Amino acid sequence: FFFVSLFIVVLWRRSQIAQHDHEENQEKHIFSNNQEEYVDKRGVHVVVGRYIGNPVNKIPNATYDMINTNNFKPEPNAGKDGLPVVIEPKDLLKMQQLFQINRFNLLASDKIPLNRTLPDVRKKKCRTMYTNYQNYPKSSVIIVFHNEAWSTLFRTVWSVIIRSPKEILEEIILVDDASEREFLKEPLNEYIKTLPVSVKIFRNHKRIGLVAARLLGARKAQGSILVFLDAHCECTTGWLESLVGTIVENPKTIACPVIDIINDDTFSYVKSFELHWGAFNWNLQFRWFTLGGTELKKRSKDNTKPFMTPAMAGGLFAMDRKYFFDLGAYDDGMKVWGGENLELSFRAWQCGGRIEIVPCSHVGHLFRKSSPYTFPGGIGETLYSNLARVALVWMDEWGDFYFKFNEAARKIKDKTDVSNRVQIRKKLHCKNFEWYLNKIWPQHFFPMKDRFFGRIRNVGENQCLIKPLGKETSNQPMGIAKLNECLKEDMVVEMFVMTQDGFIMTDDSVCLDAPEKEVNGVSKVRIMACSGFTRQKWKYNKKTQELIHATNNLCMDISPSKKYTDGLVITECTGTKTQKWKLEEVPWH
Which residues are at the interface with Mn ion (CB under 5 A)?
A: 230
Neighbours of 249 (CB within 10 A): 11
- Binding flag, residue 157, ligand LR7 (CB under 6 A): no
The answer to whether 532 touches 293, Cβ cutoff 8 Å, is: yes
- Binding flag, residue 336, ligand LR7 (CB under 6 A): yes
- What are the φ/ψ torsions at residue 50 (nearest 5 degrees)? -55, -35
Residue 5, C-beta contacts closer than 8 angstroms, at least 6 positions apart = none
Single out the segment in contact with ligand LR7 by CB under 6 A; choices: 332-340, 345-353, 404-412, 506-514.
Answer: 332-340
Nearest CB to ligand LR7, comparing residues 210 and 351: 210
Q: How far is the CB of 148 from Mn ion (least distance, A)?
A: 10
Out of 337, 349, 433, 453, name the contact with ligand LR7 by CB under 6 A: 337
Sign of the C-alpha dihedral computed for residues 100, 287, 455 and 529 taken in this order: negative
Give the CA radius of gyration of the chain. 25
Nearest CB to ligand LR7, comparing residues 82 and 567: 82
Q: How far apart are CA 31 and CA 305, in angstroms?
A: 49
Looking at residues 254 to 273 of the shown chain, list those that interact with ligand LR7 (rule: CB under 6 A): 259
Q: How far is the CB of 71 from Mn ion (least distance, A)?
A: 24
Q: Name the amino acid, one letter, at 104.
A: F
- Binding flag, residue 226, ligand LR7 (CB under 6 A): no
Q: How far is the CB of 483 from ligand LR7 (least distance, A)?
A: 34
> What letter would DSSP give residue 237?
T
- Binding flag, residue 231, ligand LR7 (CB under 6 A): yes
Nearest CB to ligand LR7, comparing residues 144 and 483: 144
Exposed e or buried b for every residue in 383-407, given b needs 16+ CB within 10 A? Answer: bbbbbbbbbbbbbbbbbbbbbbbbe
Out of 27, 40, 110, 230, name the contact with ligand LR7 by CB under 6 A: 230
Q: How far apart are CA 251 and CA 354, in angstroms?
A: 10
Q: Binding partner of residue 173 among Mn ion, ligand LR7, none, CB under 5 to 8 Å per kind?
A: none
Nearest CB to Mn ion, comparing residues 146 and 444: 146
Q: How far is the CB of 216 from ligand LR7 (least distance, A)?
A: 10
Q: How far is the CB of 335 from ligand LR7 (least distance, A)?
A: 8
Burial-class residue 287 by CB neighbours within 10 Å (0-12, 13-18, 19+).
Answer: middle
3 state DSSP class of 568: strand
Question: Strand pairing partners for 365?
Answer: 233, 261
Q: How far is the CB of 365 from Mn ion (least distance, A)?
A: 6
Q: How far is the CB of 336 from ligand LR7 (least distance, A)?
A: 4
Single out the segment in contact with ligand LR7 by CB under 6 A; choices: 65-73, 95-103, 203-211, 217-225.
Answer: 203-211
DSSP 304-333: TS-EE-SB--SSSEEEEHHHHHHTT---TT
- Angle at which helix 396-405 crosses helix 385-394, to 10 degrees, equals 150
Picking from 418, 482, 461, 446, the residue whose alpha carbon sits closest to that of residue 578 is 461
Q: How far is the CB of 206 from ligand LR7 (least distance, A)?
A: 11
Q: Binding partner of residue 371 among Mn ion, ligand LR7, none, CB under 5 to 8 Å per kind?
A: ligand LR7
Picking from 59, 22, 67, the residue whose alpha carbon sits closest to that of residue 38 is 59
Residue 54, C-beta contacts closer than 8 angstroms, at least 6 positions apart = none
- Binding flag, residue 274, ligand LR7 (CB under 6 A): no
| Contact map string, positions 281 to 320, toward ligand LR7, x by CB under 6 A | --------------------------------xxxx----
- Interface size with ligand LR7, residues (CB under 6 A): 23
Compute the 3-state secondary structure of the chain and give helix, strand, coil in percent, each to the nearest 5.
35, 20, 40
- Binding flag, residue 100, ligand LR7 (CB under 6 A): no
Q: How far is the CB of 21 from ligand LR7 (least distance, A)?
A: 8
Single out the segment in contact with ligand LR7 by CB under 6 A; choices: 144-152, 480-488, 515-523, 572-580.
Answer: 144-152
Q: How far is the CB of 316 from Mn ion (least distance, A)?
A: 9
Q: How far is the CB of 232 from Mn ion (least distance, A)?
A: 6
> What letter would DSSP give residue 85?
P
- Binding flag, residue 389, ligand LR7 (CB under 6 A): no
3 state DSSP class of 133: helix
Separate counts of helices (H) and strands (E) for the chain = 18, 25
Q: How far is the CB of 27 from ligand LR7 (least distance, A)?
A: 12
Q: Binding partner of residue 338 among Mn ion, ligand LR7, none, CB under 5 to 8 Å per kind?
A: ligand LR7
How many angstroms from the chain centroid is the CA of residue 407? 21
Q: How far is the CB of 332 from ligand LR7 (least distance, A)?
A: 14
Q: Name the amino acid, one letter, at 263.
A: N
Residue 161, C-beta contacts closer than 8 angstroms, at least 6 positions apart = 115, 169, 172, 195, 196, 197
Nearest CB to Mn ion, comparing residues 230 and 546: 230
Q: Binding partner of residue 209 among Mn ion, ligand LR7, none, CB under 5 to 8 Å per kind?
A: ligand LR7
Spell out where 431-575 has E strands: 452-458, 463-466, 482-485, 496-498, 504-506, 510-513, 523-524, 526-529, 538-541, 546-549, 555-558, 568-571
Residue 90, C-beta contacts closer than 8 angstroms, at least 6 positions apart = none
Q: How far apart are CA 203 and CA 177, in angstroms?
A: 6
Question: Strand pairing partners for 455?
Answer: 584
Picking from 574, 290, 283, the residue whose alpha carbon sits closest to that of residue 401 is 283
Single out the segment in contact with ligand LR7 by CB under 6 A; choices: 4-12, 209-217, 303-311, 510-518.
Answer: 209-217
- Binding flag, residue 160, ligand LR7 (CB under 6 A): no
Q: Binding partner of residue 382 among ligand LR7, Mn ion, none, CB under 5 to 8 Å per kind?
A: none
- Binding flag, residue 507, ligand LR7 (CB under 6 A): no
* Interstrand relation of 354-366 and 253-262 (parallel, antiparallel or unpaired): parallel
Q: Binding partner of residue 145 among ligand LR7, Mn ion, none, CB under 5 to 8 Å per kind?
A: ligand LR7
- Binding flag, residue 148, ligand LR7 (CB under 6 A): yes
Q: Binding partner of residue 213 among ligand LR7, Mn ion, none, CB under 5 to 8 Å per kind?
A: ligand LR7
Question: Strand pairing partners for 356?
Answer: 255, 308
- Binding flag, residue 557, ligand LR7 (CB under 6 A): no
Q: How far apart are CA 53 and CA 347, in angstroms?
A: 49
Single out the segment in contact with ligand LR7 by CB under 6 A; choices: 69-77, 123-131, 208-216, 411-419.
Answer: 208-216
Single out the segment in contact with ligand LR7 by CB under 6 A; choices: 269-277, 333-341, 388-396, 560-568.
Answer: 333-341
Q: Give the binding site for ligand LR7 (CB under 6 A).
A: 144-146, 148, 177, 207, 209-210, 213, 230-231, 259, 313-316, 336-338, 340-341, 365, 371
